């Protein structure tokens, strides 16, 4: 068995790369088919390019924030290498299962730092902080009436409780005992310096809020391809994007073939200002923009890495 693994191992990287490219292109083809009939003028193309650049920078920013998370877990890969690993592994989420980007990051950290438990915690904390950031924006938006919702006090308090649970659960006093049990070497021997959370991850949390807002700005520029937007409409668009992105992150799908993101965005936005048909096209446009941004960022990181 070990002999077979040793034979396959040198080709495993290329097998995963090939699978990733296949599913990435498949996803891109499906999303592109949704916007194939859309007519875009010169101004629209400019808006799309700006949206692409902002979304690409959002992913680079997210990679930078991830290095902050690694640092507080004593799992630093270095700024440049950390961002490269993040961007290269990011497109692996298009593989079936949507977990391979986590596996790639955990593998990269544990190879260098010999702590599988700490590597796993440092990687899983990132999407948790992302969800908490979007949830905070959602609660803030609902409280100020920035989005059109059928206010439900029970759901509102559930959101607050969920946010509190996440923010309390990532406190060092709770995580460090778990890390003490999991921070062991590959042979099960405790490390001389057990990994622990140095400080509360407040800065990474703020960074993930910035990431969600970054993505929201990219979404707004995609919206500008089809219709003009007044300054007063921007808070509602960013708020609706954040809530829709959050639900799309935590809910796998919706009935009728409509994605959670699309259904949520249509439900939240004022239909007199943002027609549902326009919202559907904009979401499809932004999905294509997002895929391209992730692919370009991964390609650049891969070229630099080599």
What letters, b where the CB count within 10 A reaches 16 and e where it falls short, cover 227-255? eebeeebeebbbbbbbbbbbbbeeeeeee
Domain with 28, as residue range(s), is 2-305
Q: Residue 195: what are its φ and ψ, rounded to 5°?
A: -70, 140
Q: Which of 253, 249, 283, 284 is nearest to 265 (CA)?
A: 283
3-state secondary structure of 201: coil
Residue pLDDT, tens place only, 73-104? 877 788 888 899 899 888 877 766 667 777 78
Residue pLDDT, tens place only, 108-160? 787 776 667 677 777 888 888 988 898 888 888 777 666 655 555 666 777 78
Helix, strand, coil proportions of the chain in percent (round to 5)?
Answer: 75, 0, 20
* Residue bearing the bigger pLDDT, 40 or 256: 40
User: What is the dihedral sign for C-alpha 26, 28, 34, 39?
Assistant: negative
**Total count of domains within the chain:** 1
Q: Which of 276, 249, 224 is nearest to 47 (CA)?
A: 224
Q: Is the pTM of this model over 0.75?
A: yes
Region 240-269 average pLDDT: 71
Measured distance CA(17)–CA(25) in Å, rounded: 12
User: What is the dihedral sign for C-alpha 169, 173, 178, 179?
Assistant: positive
Residue pLDDT, tens place only, 188-223? 445 545 567 778 889 999 999 999 999 999 999 999
Predicted confidence at residue 33, as pLDDT, reads 55
């Amino acid at each position: 068995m070990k002999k077979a693994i040793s034979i396959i191992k040198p080709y495993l990287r290329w097998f995963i790369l090939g699978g990733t490219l296949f599913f990435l292109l498949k996803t891109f083809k499906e999303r592109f088919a949704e916007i194939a009939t859309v007519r875009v003028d010169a101004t629209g193309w400019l808006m799309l390019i700006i949206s692409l650049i902002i979304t690409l920078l959002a992913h680079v920013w997210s990679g930078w924030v991830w290095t902050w998370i690694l640092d507080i877990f004593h799992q630093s890969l270095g700024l440049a290498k950390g961002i490269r690993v993040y961007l290269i592994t990011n497109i692996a989420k298009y593989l079936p299962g949507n977990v391979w980007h986590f596996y790639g990051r955990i593998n990269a950290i544990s190879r260098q730092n010999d702590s599988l438990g700490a590597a796993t915690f440092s990687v899983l904390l990132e999407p948790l902080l992302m969800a908490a950031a979007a949830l905070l924006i959602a609660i803030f938006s609902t409280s100020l009436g920035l989005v059109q919702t059928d206010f439900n006090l029970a759901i509102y308090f559930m959101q607050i409780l969920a946010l509190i649970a996440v923010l309390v659960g990532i406190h060092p006093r709770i995580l460090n005992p778990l890390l003490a049990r999991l921070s062991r070497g590959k042979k099960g021997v405790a490390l001389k310096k057990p990994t622990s959370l140095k400080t509360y991850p407040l800065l990474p949390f703020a960074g993930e809020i910035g990431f969600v807002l970054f993505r929201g700005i990219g979404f707004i520029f995609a919206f500008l391809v089809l219709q003009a937007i007044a300054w007063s409409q921007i808070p509602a668009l960013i708020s609706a994007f954040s809530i829709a992105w959050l639900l799309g992150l935590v809910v796998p799908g919706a009935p009728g073939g409509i994605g959670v993101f699309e259904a949520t965005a249509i439900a939240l936005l004022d239909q007199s200002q943002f027609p549902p048909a326009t919202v559907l096209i904009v979401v499809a446009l932004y999905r294509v923009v997002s895929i391209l941004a992730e692919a370009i960022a991964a390609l650049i990181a891969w070229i630099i890495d080599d």
